[in-house]
């Protein structure tokens, strides 16, 4: 099954996304195309990386993920194809792919090196044919010139000690839930059945729940979500608006003294 | 042909919808997935029920409809799969399914009863595998524990007498058209060729048209729409904004005295 | 490969788009349906025509394009199916199709002439079955009554002399880029290596670049885009907002005196 997913910042009221799909279908009409999102903020690499790393592993291994976010990159950024954790990715070497996994690449090539073209629309003219060929079984090594490494940026890290975990909101989802970068496994290791206080904005909480519907409507609800990350929501409400927190707001957990 | 439709309140800028699709494809890559909408208002059961009951019968019988709206429900609400009017539905027993038909269910089971899991993302972890299995031919009885009944809520009813029909706006569509719950068959029965006055806001009209383009631009146009429901529009304008009507606004039809 | 694309102004939070898809699938479940956009402005023929003419040729020849924008048209407008440049189109004869190509039609028929129906939802009830039948191999001549011509409206034209090209913004895309109707081939012919000044709003520029990423962040960038049209952007910014230009704003290029 040849699958290509699309993740772009192209929006949904222009011809761009359809042009990418048309190009893929023209190369191989048997490819299944699945949209991840076209509503990534313009050139918002952080948003795109969060969405992509949260979902790419749910697709079958061998899936090709075309990423048209900040597709032109900065001066000198080149189009690439790479294999990571048995998935294929095609996009611009603008630092995004370094944010989706800490694993090393399995294969990596610079695209547009064989009969290079000039284009202002690399998603359609470079990424789409490469993705379609990968999904059709061509190997990365036949798509372009091998590269030693792709760009990695340093993501905001969680600070964790025996006394405290300090994290930040890494995504405010469309319903206003605040997803932090505090992982359940770090919490489990450090809490060791100690009591704890979760703080953000002016609020303090003493309990992490297992389901949203354990709260009453309008109440704050804190869970470890399906990504294994601490998430703050308002049951049937918009947590970001009601709590005044946004992307990059600090959330910390302080463990009780024994 | 195995078809799964998706109707959620998950929006389009997060990983949620793609995660549901990826799970379905992983179970059975031959399934055709069709989006109904992911722009249902957060936990807006009324909106979701209106959209679903307006379209599910247009799909071939046997289609599976995955409904991820208010997916966690209230405390005690359980995930279910059911068969209604020869279509399959998977979602939360939060009252939504009772609003799409008055017919009884053909089959009904509580999900997550065989090796139950804990999850904050039931759309991906419970609904998607169940929908994929149903679409692949598994029967509801093999998916979970049989239940006697699912939740029904009472929807706002039309009041109809020989003198008057009193209805409400049940959906303001994206272009501002006001769809009421006044059915054409009730109107036809009661009007019996009598004259009538349609009233809403401060407006009075004496005529129902058959097509929108029988009005001039900016004029109010009243039709029985493709769902057989009275609909108020402004030809090439936004009726909700221009008339000041919204969800739940009253619309009534008074028949002339003989 | 039977492909039907959809381009509508129906939005994404109602049942309309799903109803169109369900009807197509019911006629022929083997048809591949691809969304172009459902976010065309209400009855905005200019927007729809721009998007459609920018992408339809990227799809394989023989693709059927269902256009549900201003689907009822004005009084007297009829539903049609036509073949243009080896692609098929189904929609309302409201002038839109005349804006996507200057070529003559290859085939043309009025729909809803064989057992005509009355409907307020022609996209589902007339366009969808016609599109599905075309995609399944039926010929236009079997779908309805032949017509001699479809409506053509006059689009805003570029004025080009040896001294100056005067164009307008024909589309502000979702990220704020300003796409004009000034074609590269006209510019190349008239510039003949002369210097030139590009003017819009209060701004003057002397250079057209080949890539967006040749500019610094926040700088104005002028390119001939992938459609061969002059486009004004702000690198990683919203040009429309920052420059105060919008749909129909004038952009002109004055060539230096020799």
Chain A contact present for B77, CB below 8 A:
yes
C-alpha distances in Å from residue B175, one per residue of B48, B233, B241: 17, 9, 10
φ, ψ dihedrals at C90, nearest 5°: -130, 130
Q: Across residues B176-185, what is the average pLDDT? A: 97
For residue B167, pLDDT over 80 is answered with: yes
* Among B189-198, B211-220, B249-258, the least confident range: B211-220
| DSSP E strands, C62-219 | 64-68, 79-84, 87-92, 107-110, 145-146, 159-160, 164-172, 178-183, 196-200, 203-205
| Closest residue in chain A to residue C221, using alpha carbons only | A120
For residue A213, pLDDT over 80 is answered with: no
User: Which domains, ranges and CATH numbers included, belong to chain A?
Assistant: 3-146 (3.40.50.10790), 159-255 (2.40.30.90)
Interchain contact, C19 vs B47, CB within 8 Å: no
Task: Let me know the angle formed at the C-alpha of C43 by C40 and C45, rounded to the nearest 5 degrees.
Answer: 75
Maximum CA pair distance of chain C?
A: 67
C-alpha distances in Å from residue B149, one per residue of B68, B104, B110, B145, C207: 20, 9, 10, 12, 71
For residue B163, pLDDT over 90 is answered with: yes
C-alpha B113/C-alpha B132 separation (Å) is: 17
C-alpha C59/C-alpha A21 separation (Å) is: 8
Tokens of A32: 């299944």
User: Rounded to a whole number, what is the distance in Å from the CA of A48 to chain B's nearest CA?
Assistant: 9
| DSSP E strands, B70-176 | 79-84, 87-92, 107-110, 145-146, 159-160, 164-172
Tokens of B37: 């909408």
Reported as a single tens digit per residue, the pLDDT across A31-69 is: 999 999 999 999 999 999 999 999 999 999 999 999 999
For residue B216, pLDDT over 90 is answered with: no
Give the pLDDT score at B107: 97
C-alpha C90/C-alpha C83 separation (Å) is: 9
Comparing CA positions, the residue from C122, C117, C113, C119 lying closest to residue C146 is C113
Q: How many CB atoms lie within 10 A of CB B103?
A: 8
Reported as a single tens digit per residue, the pLDDT across A128-187 is: 999 999 999 999 999 999 999 999 988 888 999 999 999 999 999 999 999 999 999 999
Whether A176 contacts A190, CB under 8 Å: no
| Closest residue in chain B to residue C44, using alpha carbons only | B236
Residue of B65, B175, B247 best to disrupt the C interface, most CBs of C under 10 A? B175
Write down the residue that tokens 């996304």 correspond to. A17
Q: How many CB atoms lie within 10 A of CB B244?
A: 12
Chain B contact present for C34, CB below 8 A:
no
Chain B contact present for A30, CB below 8 A:
no
Averaged confidence pLDDT in chain A:
95
Residues of chain B with Cβ-Cβ distance to A58 below 8 Å are 18-19, 22-23, 26, 124
SS3 C179: strand
Question: Could you read off the pLDDT tens digit of each residue along chain C, which spans 258 residues?
Answer: 699 999 999 999 999 999 999 999 999 999 999 999 999 999 999 999 999 999 999 999 999 999 999 999 988 899 999 999 999 999 999 999 999 999 999 999 999 999 999 999 999 999 999 999 999 999 999 999 999 999 998 888 899 999 999 999 999 999 999 999 999 999 999 998 899 999 999 899 999 998 877 778 888 999 999 999 999 999 889 999 999 999 999 999 999 987
Whether A235 contacts A245, CB under 8 Å: no
Reported as a single tens digit per residue, the pLDDT across B27-43 is: 999 999 999 999 999 99
Q: Across residues A246-257, what is the average pLDDT? A: 95
Give the pLDDT score at B153: 86
SS3 A203: strand
Q: Residue B177 CA to chain centroid, in angstroms? A: 16
Tokens of A241: 């608006």
Whether A44 contacts A51, CB under 8 Å: no
Q: Residue C37 CA to chain centroid, in angstroms? A: 11
Give the pLDDT score at C213: 76
Buried-state track A143-155, b at ≥16 Cβ within 10 A, e below 16:
bbeebeebbeeeb
pLDDT band at B75 (very low <50, low <70, confident <90, very high): confident
Q: Nearest Cβ partner of B212 from C33, C72, C118? A: C72
Give the pLDDT score at C75: 87
SS3 A186: helix
| Pairing status of strand C250-255 against strand A196-200 | unpaired
For residue B152, pLDDT over 80 is answered with: yes
C-alpha distances in Å from residue C200, one per residue of C103, C192, C196: 32, 22, 13
Give the pLDDT score at C258: 72
SS3 B64: strand
Interchain contact, C14 vs B210, CB within 8 Å: no
Interchain contact, B120 vs A36, CB within 8 Å: no
Q: How many CB atoms lie within 10 A of CB C97?
A: 27
Q: Across residues B14-24, what is the average pLDDT? A: 98
| Closest residue in chain B to residue C34, using alpha carbons only | B34
SS3 assignment for B91-105: EECCCCHHHCCCCCC
Write down the residue that tokens 């058959």 correspond to. B210
pLDDT band at B194 (very low <50, low <70, confident <90, very high): very high
Give the pLDDT score at C236: 84
C-alpha C104/C-alpha A73 separation (Å) is: 41
C-alpha B48/C-alpha B9 separation (Å) is: 8
Interchain contact, C22 vs B55, CB within 8 Å: yes
ipTM reported for the complex, 2 dp: 0.95
| Pairing status of strand A229-234 against strand A178-183 | antiparallel
Give the pLDDT score at B258: 72
SS3 A122: helix
| DSSP letters spanning A195-249 | -EEEEETTEEE---BS-GGGSPTT-EEEEE-TTSEEEEEETTB-HHHHHT--TT-
Chain C contact present for B110, CB below 8 A:
no
Chain C contact present for B225, CB below 8 A:
yes
């Amino acid at each position: 099954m040849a699958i290509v997913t699309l993740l772009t910042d192209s929006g949904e009221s222009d011809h761009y996304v359809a042009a990418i799909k048309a190009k893929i279908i023209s190369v191989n009409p048997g490819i299944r195309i699945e949209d991840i999102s076209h509503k990534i903020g313009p050139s918002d690499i952080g948003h795109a990386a969060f969405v992509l790393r949260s979902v790419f592993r749910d697709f079958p291994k061998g899936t090709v993920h075309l990423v048209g976010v900040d597709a032109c990159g900065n001066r000198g950024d080149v189009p690439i194809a790479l294999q990571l954790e048995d998935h294929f990715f095609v996009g611009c070497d603008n630092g995004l792919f370094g944010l989706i996994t800490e694993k090393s690449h399995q294969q990596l090539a610079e695209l547009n090196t064989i009969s290079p073209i000039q284009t202002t629309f690399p998603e359609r003219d470079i990424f789409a044919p490469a993705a379609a060929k990968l999904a059709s079984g061509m190997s990365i090594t036949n798509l372009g010139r091998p590269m030693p490494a792709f760009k990695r940026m340093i993501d905001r890290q969680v600070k964790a000690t025996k006394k405290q975990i300090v994290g930040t909101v890494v995504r405010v989802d469309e319903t206003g839930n605040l997803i932090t970068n505090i992982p359940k496994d770090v919490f489990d290791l450090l809490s060791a059945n100690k009591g704890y206080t979760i703080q953000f904005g002016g609020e303090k909480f003493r309990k992490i729940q297992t389901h949203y519907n354990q709260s009453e409507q309008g109440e704050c609800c804190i869970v470890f979500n399906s990504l294994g990350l601490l998430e703050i929501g308002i049951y049937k409400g918009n947590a970001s608006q009601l709590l005044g927190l946004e992307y990059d707001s600090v959330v910390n957990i302080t463990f009780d003294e024994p």
